[in-house]
Amino acid sequence: MAIVSHVPAMTQKVDPRRYRDIGVPEIMSIGREIVEEPVARLIEDKIYVAVGKQVKESKLVLLWALQNSGGKRICIIHVHQPAQKIPVLGLGTKLPASSVSEQEVRAYREFERQEMHKNLDEYLLICQRMGVRAEKLFIEMDSIEKGLVQFILQYGIKKLVMGAAADKHYKKKMVDLKSKKAIFMRLRAPASCHIWFICNGNLIHKREGSLDGTDLAVRSLSLQTSPNIETGHPQHSRSQSVTLGHSSQAKLTNPVQDFLRRVTSITLDGNGGNVPDGTGGLSTPGNSPVAEGIFDEWDAIPRGSHSQESVRSSCSSRGGNDVPLTPLRRTERNKNDFQFSTLHEPKDFHNSSPPSVLDGSVDDTLYDQLEQAMAEAENSRREAFAEALRRGKAEKDAIEAFRRAKASESLYAEALKQRKDVEEALAKEKLELERMRKQQDEVNEELQISLNQKSLLESQLAESDQMVKELEQKIISAVELLQNYKKERDELQIERDNALKEAEELRRSRKEASSSTHQPQFFSEFSFSEIEEATHNFDLSLKIGEGGYGSIYEGILRHTHVAIKMLHSHSLQGPSEFQQEVDVLSKMRHPNLVTLIGACPEAWTLVYEYLCNGSLEDRLSCMDNSPPLSWQTRIRIATELCSVLIFLHSCKPHSIVHGDLKPANILLDAKFVSKLSDFGICRLLSHDELSSNNTTPCCRTDPKGTFTYMDPEFLATGELTPMSDVYSFGIILLRMLTGRPALGITKEVQYALDTGKLKTLLDPLAGDWPFVQAEQLANLALRCCEMNRKSRPDLETDVWRVLEPMRASCGGSLFRVGSEEHCQPPPYFICPIFQEVMQDPHVAADGFTYEAEAVRGWLDSGHDTSPMTNLALAHKNLVPNLALRSAIQEWLQQN
């Protein structure tokens, strides 16, 4: 028995706790058998991944776990949460499960489980593609958070990967959890479980697990003895097994252990009794409290000095009686004798030891063998420890190599993607280079053409120099003639002065006569306060246009829907344009001229009739998703525009040239009847003013208007003639044919006619153009756009003869779109008192227009208030509304 006391001393030389904190795998040494349980546990350890029912939402969480698993097995866990509402066939809605039949509920639950297994199989397929073994576990619970906690407790999960939030909520600076489930698990999950929280494939948060007191107590229950007491022999020996996690029973195989087993099998009473263990059983080398000091990492017995108090507390925690275990010690009687002494010996143990053992009659040879065996055991433990270190390092290197391989695969994939992107960029660069080469060739061709034109101009310049010399000779000869004519001029000068005096006297007399007679004025004057009220103080929401003259607003003026053009404060040409437009529109009436209702001279403001369909430019570009104009409507608009131009050019005694003809100045009413507007830069040409080379009236002025629609000859010479409007009319006609921008449109149409590709150039939004008429219109428009004004056709004799038959073939009359337009007169034509069309409209002091007979009868009957507002009138004077009267008469004539 004296030899047994040395076994615990030897087993205490290797303390696993010394190496646990530096990452070295723990080693259990019993005799010569090495049990590497922590290393095996590291290899067989699993990583559990919590996934949802949508594969798309949890795929990145699983991929992160696969990439960071280090070759460990993956276990996919899922908490199936049965739906609370069941969809009902035929109703198209969901009802609570309590409101649906049990059969339908069972069928839908089975369908949910099939979908769950299908999704879990997709997760397993992802793991299989990544070359990782995986398995699946699921549980049905109403709460996902409680289900995950149940998983951790049931399977002893130590490593868990789950989502931190939905991927769409991910941000680079995201450091906190967004999901309620993740927050619950971080706070409520068992402390022994390590949890990684993932969002959008990135680690957001990590909760480190810890081994608290509760877990230690649970683990300590795994190391217990299993007694096997025979019936009727309470003092017989027991066989014990030490359970370490999932390891098998440790076996003693070396000679020292065999010796110890033989020594402890000797009994003093002849029944093989052993040393009492203080717990009602017998102590063996496998279950002695001193030997149990080896396993204090698992059963939570403190290391260090095995005092009687620590042993008592350990025994009492295992449910033993209060009798303390008696530590054995060796005392030296002489050189070769040993004895055992106990602090408290049981009463039934005195007569159970054989004399050879009690007398310490063990020789030195057996003790030397024991010490040699103990030295060999120590060397074996050291070798096993070194081997465990090497194996741990090898496993670590293997895991690191696996991680490097994964990293290399990701780098290779990234490099492959970058190479693909570079190849695509290179292909785009090649295409761009080809395009630039084509552009360079085109530029070279244009340069060559320019050089040819330059040489031609140089030759023309040489010819011009020759002509200058000839003209100089002619000038010298003409000077002599001028001297002869000078005398005649002086005589004519005297006669002219006399004629001027007579003409001045005649003009004065005519002016006096004209001032004595009443000149009709076809527009009304409005105050600035009325303009402000009609436009809501020039509210930007009522602004419908912007031009060189100013801004155009929509408003209600004297209960009439009008368009108000307001002069810009910084405009230098505003006053002259204002007076020019008033002079033209107040003296003329035409169905295709915009009606000037009135003006406000103090603010340089013009008031027109409101045309709801905007300008021709807006309709050609389909602004505000408006429907496109049909080809019949476009032909009618061209005919109406030709008619109004003929009217302006043939006015007496002065022809009127618009000078700024473009689609933006052609307005359309509710029936798409065209109205020509914006006469601010028009010119009045006297028939006495003829150009130097023809009989066409002209005037010299600075070029104004829109460049793409301006006559090139007007730009070159400064001479404005009616043919300048013909050029602009030709450009507008080409735009209505093709729907293309005005710049360069003549060259495109000419090329299409020459190559027979006119159909491809026609605007498809207008419908199917009659090709014969379209070709005829294209040729007519190109004739109008000739560079030389002499080559352009006359509107009345040439253009009208082409457009009038086309308009007739499309249906409708020139100035009437349909009977509906004239069946319903405009509301401002109706007298508010009689409710009939007015014949002699007059404006009262309240600002409203009435029939003269009606308002006079109202005032003569003693009323001094307004028939419309019932407010007192400032006066009873009536002013004729000549502009409205003219418009009513024109409407009546058309009907």
* Residues tagged active-site: 660
**Residue 520 CA to its chain's centroid (Å):** 63
Degrees (nearest 5) of the Cα angle 788, 794, 798? 120
Give the integer Cα–Cα distance in Å for 187 and 146: 12
Give the integer Cα–Cα distance in Å for 713 and 465: 24
Contact of 209 with 194, CB cutoff 8 Å: yes
**Residue 879 CA to its chain's centroid (Å):** 62
Q: Which residues contact 238 (CB under 8 A, 6 or more apart)?
A: 225, 227, 228, 229, 281, 282, 284, 287
How far lies 775's CA from each of 397, 421, 802, in Å?
85, 50, 12
Using a 10 angstrom Cβ sphere, with 0-12 exposed, 13-18 middle and 19 or more buried, the burial of residue 594 is: buried
Interhelix angle 722-738/631-649, rounded to 10 degrees, is 180
Q: Is 773 helix (H, G, I), strand (E, B) or coil?
A: helix
Give the integer Cα–Cα distance in Å for 778 and 750: 9
Contact of 685 with 603, CB cutoff 8 Å: no
What values do phi and psi take at 73, rounded to 5? Answer: -75, 150
Q: Is 632 helix (H, G, I), strand (E, B) or coil?
A: helix
What tokens appear for 174 in the block? 């995201």
Q: 328-355 burial by CB neighbour count: b if 16+ within 10 A, else e?
A: bebeeeeeeebebeeeeeeeebeebbee
Q: Is 667 helix (H, G, I), strand (E, B) or coil?
A: strand
What tokens appear for 539 in the block? 């509210």
Please spell the DSSP secondary structure of 150-174, one letter per residue.
Answer: HHHHHHT--EEEEESS-GGG--TT-
* Single-letter code of the amino acid located at 688: D
**Do you find a cis peptide bond into 653, omega within 30 degrees of 0?**
yes
- Answer positive or negative: Cα dihedral of 673, 678, 682, 684: positive
